Amino acid sequence: MTTDFAAQWNISDYFSHNRSRICTDLPPVGGQDGDQTSKVVAAVGTGGSDRDLSSGDGMPAFDALWMELYGRLSDLCVDQRPAVRKSAGQTLFSMIAAHGALLKKSSWQTMLWKVTCLILNCIHVQVHRVRKKRCHFIFCHNFAKS
């Protein structure tokens, strides 16, 4: 598990240190081949996630790469395994702190709403689900004692 997070950290370092080369190698905006963001996301793959992290408003392809990385980590932030959640959260927010300045201002809104707010929403749903189960258990346990 630690190796997976280290690999994602290495990817973020690679993105950071090779920004100009990556941006040069990405398809041009509005070229014959279509939208660069959708091409980048398709090249990276969805990894089983149904979340569309490209805002559809012409997000730069380099930012779309970051969104994919952040999105995959945010999916792990709500994993069933506590150790995975902890490591994913630490890695995600460390990456944002270390490399967040590379995002365009317009991409920050997408990152906040489609990455961090979704984590909070998933946590809220899980807490509500646990509360319901706990209340049901307490009710059934007290009813059985009566």
DSSP string, 44-109: H--TT-----S-SS---HHHHHHHHHHHHHHHHTT-SSHHHHHHHHHHHHHHHHHHGGGS-HHHHH
CA atoms of 65 and 55, how far apart (whole Å): 13
pTM of the model: 0.65
d(CA 116, CA 93): 9
Going by C-alpha positions, the residue among 107, 55, 48 that lies closest to residue 79 is 48
DSSP, collapsed to helix, strand or coil, labels residue 32 as coil
From first to last of its 146 residues, the chain has per-residue pLDDT tens of 556 788 888 888 888 888 888 888 877 544 444 454 455 445 444 444 555 555 455 788 888 888 888 988 988 888 889 999 899 989 999 999 988 888 888 888 888 888 888 888 888 888 888 777 766 656 565 555 55
Each domain of the chain, given as residue ranges in start order, spans: 2-145
Phi, psi of 44, deg, nearest 5: -75, -35
